[in-house]
Amino acid sequence: MSTTLNPAVAATPAAQLNARAATRSILQAAGMLPVLILLALGFHFLGGHRFLSGQNLSIIAQQASINTVLASGMTFVILTGGIDLSVGSILAFAAMCGLIVSTMPHLAWLAVPACLGAGLLIGVFNGALIAGVKIPPFIVTLGTLTAVRGLARLMGNDRTIFNPDLSFAWIGNDGIAITSTFTIPWLAVIALAVVVASWFILRRTVLGVHIYAIGGNASAARLAGIRVGLVLMFVYAASGLLAGLGAVMSSARLYAANGLQLGQSYELDAIAAVILGGTSFVGGVGSIWGTLVGALLIAVLTNGLILVGVSDIWQFIVKGLVIIVAVALDRFRAPAART
Amino acid sequence: MALAHQTTSEMQENNTPLLHVAGISKTFSGIKVLKDVSLSAYGGEILALMGENGAGKSTLMKILSGAYTADPGGEIRIGGEVARITNPASARALGVGIIYQELALAPNLTVAENIHLGSELRKGGMIDRSAMNEACRELLRELGAPFGPEDKLSTMSVAEQQLVEIARALHRDVRILVLDEPTTALSARETDRLFALIRQLRAKGLALIYISHRMDEIDELADRVSVLRDGAHVGTLEKHELSSARIVSLMVGRDLSSFYEKDGDHVRHDAAPILQVEGLTDGKRVQPVSFVLRPGEVLGIAGLVGAGRTELARLVFGADPKVAGTISLDSRKLDIRSPRDALAAGIAYLTEDRKALGLFLDMSCSGNINLGVVERDARLGVLDHGKGRTRATGSFAALRIKAQNMLTNVGGLSGGNQQKVLLGRLLETGPKVLILDEPTRGVDIGAKTEIYRIINDLAAQGLGIIVISSEMAEIIGVSDRVLVMREGHLTGELTGDEITQEAIMSLAVGLAAAPSIAA
């Protein structure tokens, strides 16, 4: 700083502080990790020792991957104190765009960019209304949730588009083979890459600092010289783009897209993952690692309940209650935290 | 209201104060804002409660009204009996009523409905409007109200609404009525009418506690005056001892010269103005304002609450849109459209509300200090943690911030340390002009003196500093020159020996000459 005031106390050595902060953030991120492990062990023993097999684990990784990608975008949004209800619809719309392009003879290679571009477009639209016109995010994305769902149905005349020769189908079906029974699916690799990239943005860049600042106190952020509108634009654009990526992953897996059913209520699972991960619902506090654990928790629950033979109806009931109980436990553990 | 009329002296001979508080303290996140306060109010008297902004008057009143609970240890007696005030309802049940500056009425309801709010009369489960109207009619007549029970609040003036508040309190049989600066929004005629009513209530035997900054009102109304300073009760003056000079000396009560750590004049009179503001206005609360600021100068801006000081600062800082006017820094005209532009140009603003508008309470001290400069320090948008640590360490040392360590969340710090963290953020941006809005609000005496020392050191380095403060002694203590604002206008400029409490006050309230409050 430019001032030369009286020198005084020396701070605690930096390395020591870093170590302490690291431990603390690991503990915070760990939040739901013990629950995740307990659940996994529980399902393993209840479900005839099948749960923790290599094959089942790679299925879980695959099942968790799309939600992890959506929840990463949702983490950005919720950290600023916002919400994006439109990701499920965006995913359906982007997948329709992608599949239609993939069936065009000379443009098939543009299918993946089409998915990503469509997602980004809707995200930018959300962001422009929220940051520019200053309409509350809940209202804007509630609107796009419905409108974009309609667009998605319009795209294929309300029919399922199917492409058995999808050029990027390997994304959804192959993986890195580790042993004969255990493969790391590309879907999981992509999801992990998204998590790492999100972590980098949130923790290692100016943008990340500004995201946390806006969620912590938007008025103060503006007075501190942060371009609040631009940052909000970024988070909704990112959420849209990642929904587009989710569309790539989902269509690669299904060789198909359907405007009506695809991505229905995906936004709820994404929000649940973020909240389970300990991110404050009013913004400013949270981590992407927590979101990863949250998304895994949801996948483990879904997979485990099927494995132990719980009926479809009861799965809903149990999943919903587990989300409430898990967050309640977390509150008990750290009463100071906010949601 | 049925109490017989007794004079103050008769009541005091009876010797049971209607209200007696003893040893009341209140601590907010480690800062003691009320220290062992004891005072009494008798039935049939008007006790004026005085003190600078932040002296603890409102805190004490909020304890009486049940909005806050006092720290354990003290005692409140009402009519001689120990009273336990734990929430607003229990305060009401004990006969304590408060008329706040901001009225707490429902504008969409009628007078009678407001008076009965929360205790509506019912007949067969339905609201009995006619009974409610009848119940207030007599009371309103007694108070000389120019409106009836059926009138809607939204059609009434502030003075009339205030009367409704008073009627509501009386309807609940209050014995102790607190009026918190009731005349701020009233005209002279309305004030006279209110005073007549207050005297009428005194004659009925109520204990009235009257909070005000206006010396002339105290002269006119008060039977006794109790003065709070820095959260402590520093004295009560009886009727025969009352004089403006004695009240002021009790309110200020400290040796200003040493407290403010000003080691002389750092103003560079020969240098060109560092900041030049001309005709700046938002078309609403700030009328065209022009002034200059020189390097090394501490320019105080004084005025009553609502005079437009904060609004002026926010205009200069680009936080609110201006309608007209220019701002020049180092003789260069600036186009400031946002706080970001102002910061980039070298103008920094310390907000008066650090929790709501300044700090990120969930972030670490280091994060808060670096927030204004992370962008500048980063390479391709990637944070430079090393630089951030260096800056935080530097700020901690220079401003003597006391926290467990740099990574402690700023929300857990005391007010003074929070303020220093916020100041640290501004200083890291390397400003040429620093606007400090109520820089010592809600900080303890120790941190206060340190903030004064910092202001002095920064002026010595040639920064131009604007200090906005409602605390008269602070403005006088730190400023080289004082601008006084009233209702959006600059009403005067004072330098050197002209800077006195009397001169500032008379400009702030719009008197032509200083009132004779000097001894």
B25 min Cα distance to partner chain A (Å) = 26
State whether residue B143 is helix, strand or coil: coil
Residue A193 structure tokens: 């890459």
Query: According to the model, what pLDDT value does residue B258 have?
Result: 53
Where are the domain boundaries for CATH 3.40.50.300 in chain B? 1-95+176-190+202-253, 257-359+430-509
Residues of chain A in contact with residue B367, where contact means CB-CB under 8 angstroms, are: 209, 212
A1 min Cα distance to partner chain B (Å) = 5
- The nearest alpha carbon in chain B to A224 belongs to B372
Average pLDDT over residues B218-226: 90
pLDDT tens per residue across span A52-81: 888 899 889 989 999 999 999 999 999 999
State whether residue B323 is helix, strand or coil: coil
How many Å apart are CA B453 and CA A33, to the nearest integer? 49
Of B13 and A97, more confident: A97
Average pLDDT over residues A181-198: 93
CATH code, A262: 1.10.3470
Please count the structural domains in chain A. 1
Query: According to the model, what pLDDT value does residue B18 have?
Result: 92
Identify the helix (H) or strand (E) that includes residue A63: helix A54-79
pLDDT band at B465 (very low <50, low <70, confident <90, very high): very high
pLDDT tens per residue across span A124-164: 999 999 999 999 999 999 999 999 999 999 998 889 999 99
The residues near B112 (Cβ < 8 Å, ≥ 6 apart) are B129, B132, B133, B135, B136, B149, B150
Lowest mean pLDDT among A162-176, B253-267, B412-426: B253-267
Average pLDDT over residues B202-208: 93
The residues near B100 (Cβ < 8 Å, ≥ 6 apart) are B180
How many Å apart are CA B147 and CA B452, to the nearest integer? 52
Instruction: Tell me if A11 is assigned to some domain.
Output: no
pLDDT band at B239 (very low <50, low <70, confident <90, very high): confident
Average pLDDT over chain B, rounded to an integer: 86
Query: In Å, what is the CA distance from A85 to each residue of A182, A339, B136, B236?
Result: 35, 18, 52, 62
Pick from A11, A212, A216: CB nearest B405: A11
B470 min Cα distance to partner chain A (Å) = 22
SS3 labels along B336-404: CCCHHHHHHHCEEEECCCHHHHHCCCCCEHHHHHHCCCHHHHCECCECCHHHHHHHHHHHHHHHCCCCC
pLDDT at B109 over 70: yes
Q: Are B160 and B145 in contact (CB under 8 A)?
A: yes
CB contact (8 A) between residue B398 and residue A2: no
Instruction: Tell me if A250 is assigned to some domain.
Output: yes
Of B308 and B30, more confident: B308
pLDDT band at B504 (very low <50, low <70, confident <90, very high): confident
Say if residue A48 is exposed, middle or buried (CB neighbours under 10 Å; 0-12, 13-18, 19+). exposed
Average pLDDT over residues B9-35: 78
Query: According to the model, what pLDDT value does residue A328 have?
Result: 79
State whether residue B421 is helix, strand or coil: helix
Pick from B339, B378, B430: CB nearest A225: B339
pLDDT tens per residue across span A24-54: 556 555 678 888 898 899 999 988 888 888 8
Looking at chain B, the number of H-run helices and the number of E-run strands are: 19, 22
Residue B355 structure tokens: 């929790």
Query: According to the model, what pLDDT value does residue A54 have?
Result: 86
Instruction: Tell me if A172 is assigned to some domain.
Output: yes
Share of residues in chain A with pLDDT > 70 (%): 88
Average pLDDT over residues B391-400: 94
CB contact (8 A) between residue A220 and residue B394: no
Nearest CA among A301, A217, A303, A246 for reference residue A89: A246
A201 min Cα distance to partner chain B (Å) = 8
> Could you tell me the CATH superfamily of domain B257-359+430-509?
P-loop containing nucleotide triphosphate hydrolases (3.40.50.300)
Is the CB of residue A220 less than 8 Å away from at least one CB of chain B? Answer: yes
Query: According to the model, what pLDDT value does residue B447 have?
Result: 81
- The nearest alpha carbon in chain A to B402 belongs to A9
Most confident of A194-198, B26-30, B453-457, B467-471: A194-198
Query: According to the model, what pLDDT value does residue B144 have?
Result: 82
Size of interface A-B (CB pairs under 8 A): 125
pLDDT band at B470 (very low <50, low <70, confident <90, very high): confident
Cα dihedral value A113, A114, A116, A121, nearest 10? 130
Q: Are A236 and A123 in contact (CB under 8 A)?
A: yes
Is the CB of residue B144 less than 8 Å away from at least one CB of chain A? Answer: no
The CATH class for the domain spanning B1-95+176-190+202-253 reads alpha beta
Sign of CA dihedral B439, B443, B447, B452: positive
Lowest mean pLDDT among A70-74, A216-220, B127-131: B127-131
Most confident of A145-149, A169-173, B86-90: A145-149
How many Å apart are CA B145 and CA B141, to the nearest integer? 6
Average pLDDT over residues A223-231: 95
- Return residues 280-319 of A near B (CB < 8 Å): 280, 284-285
DSSP conformation letters of A270-331? HHHHHHHTT--TTSS---HHHHHHHHHHHHHHHHHHHHTT--HHHHHHHHHHHHHHHHHHHH
The residues near B4 (Cβ < 8 Å, ≥ 6 apart) are B205
Query: According to the model, what pLDDT value does residue A1 have?
Result: 39
Query: In Å, what is the CA distance from A122 to each residue of A111, A161, A229, B290, B327?
Result: 17, 21, 17, 48, 41
Lowest mean pLDDT among A265-274, B87-96, B279-288, B366-375: B87-96
Cβ neighbours around B172 below 10 Å, total: 16
How many Å apart are CA B284 and CA B322, to the nearest integer? 10
Pick from A2, A10, A213: CB nearest B430: A2
Nearest CA among B112, B123, B78, B80 for reference residue B96: B78
pLDDT at A339 over 50: no
Is the CB of residue B379 less than 8 Å away from at least one CB of chain A? Answer: no
Nearest CA among B259, B186, B252 for reference residue B217: B186
How many Å apart are CA A76 and CA B391, to the nearest integer? 27
Is the CB of residue A159 less than 8 Å away from at least one CB of chain B? Answer: no
Residues of chain A in contact with residue B319, where contact means CB-CB under 8 angstroms, are: 222-223
Pick from A1, A280, A285: CB nearest B395: A1
Instruction: Tell me if A338 is assigned to some domain.
Output: no
Q: Are B323 and B288 in contact (CB under 8 A)?
A: no
Residues of chain B in contact with residue A217, where contact means CB-CB under 8 angstroms, are: 356-357, 359-361
State whether residue B264 is helix, strand or coil: coil
Residues of chain B in contact with residue A2, where contact means CB-CB under 8 angstroms, are: 427, 430, 461
Is the CB of residue B288 less than 8 Å away from at least one CB of chain A? Answer: no
Instruction: Tell me if A141 is assigned to some domain.
Output: yes
Q: For residues B218-252, b (16+ Cβ closer than 10 Å) or e, as one string?
A: bbebbbbbbbbbbbbbebbbeeeebebeebbebbb
Of A218 and B474, more confident: A218
Is the CB of residue B427 less than 8 Å away from at least one CB of chain A? Answer: yes
pLDDT at B280 over 80: yes
**Which residue type does B290 have?**
S
Pick from A7, A219, A225: CB nearest B340: A225
pTM here is: 0.74
Average pLDDT over chain A, rounded to an integer: 88
Query: According to the model, what pLDDT value does residue A4 have?
Result: 41
Of B429 and B52, more confident: B429
Is the CB of residue A219 less than 8 Å away from at least one CB of chain B? Answer: yes
Instruction: Tell me if A198 is assigned to some domain.
Output: yes
Find the angle CA(B418)-CA(B420)-CA(B426) to the nearest 5 degrees: 110
Query: According to the model, what pLDDT value does residue B254 have?
Result: 53
Query: According to the model, what pLDDT value does residue B259 have?
Result: 62
Instruction: Tell me if A123 is assigned to some domain.
Output: yes
pLDDT band at A15 (very low <50, low <70, confident <90, very high): low
How many Å apart are CA B275 and CA A183, to the nearest integer? 67
Query: In Å, what is the CA distance from B41 to each residue of B61, B82, B177?
Result: 13, 15, 10
Is the CB of residue A17 less than 8 Å away from at least one CB of chain B? Answer: yes
Most confident of B26-35, B322-331, B507-516: B322-331
**Which residue type does A209 have?**
V
pLDDT tens per residue across span A122-131: 999 999 999 9
Q: Which domain holds residue A237?
A: 58-331
Say if residue B382 is exposed, middle or buried (CB neighbours under 10 Å; 0-12, 13-18, 19+). middle
Pick from A10, A206, A216: CB nearest B375: A206
Query: According to the model, what pLDDT value does residue A29 have?
Result: 53
Query: According to the model, what pLDDT value does residue B511 have?
Result: 67
The residues near A139 (Cβ < 8 Å, ≥ 6 apart) are none
Question: How many residues can be counted in chain A?
Answer: 339
Average pLDDT over residues B195-212: 92
pLDDT band at A335 (very low <50, low <70, confident <90, very high): very low
Instruction: Tell me if A94 is assigned to some domain.
Output: yes
Cβ neighbours around B412 below 10 Å, total: 15
Residues of chain A in contact with residue B383, where contact means CB-CB under 8 angstroms, are: 204-206, 208-209
pLDDT at B10 over 80: no
pLDDT at B103 over 60: yes
Query: According to the model, what pLDDT value does residue A26 have?
Result: 60
pLDDT at A337 over 70: no
Of B122 and A296, more confident: A296
Average pLDDT over residues A118-124: 98
Most confident of A182-191, B135-144, B205-214: A182-191
Is the CB of residue A153 less than 8 Å away from at least one CB of chain B? Answer: no
Pick from A9, A223, A226: CB nearest B357: A223
ipTM > 0.90? no
pLDDT at A319 over 90: no
Average pLDDT over residues A302-312: 90
Say if residue B128 is exposed, middle or buried (CB neighbours under 10 Å; 0-12, 13-18, 19+). middle
Average pLDDT over residues A8-14: 43
Residues of chain B in contact with residue A206, where contact means CB-CB under 8 angstroms, are: 374-375, 378, 381-383
pLDDT at B386 over 90: yes
Query: In Å, what is the CA distance from B228 to each residue of A264, A296, B33, B231, B258?
Result: 64, 59, 11, 6, 21
State whether residue B333 is helix, strand or coil: strand
Pick from A17, A213, A219: CB nearest B371: A213
- Return residues 31-70 of A near B (CB < 8 Å): none
Is the CB of residue B343 less than 8 Å away from at least one CB of chain A? Answer: yes
Query: According to the model, what pLDDT value does residue B212 have?
Result: 81
Query: According to the model, what pLDDT value does residue A27 have?
Result: 59
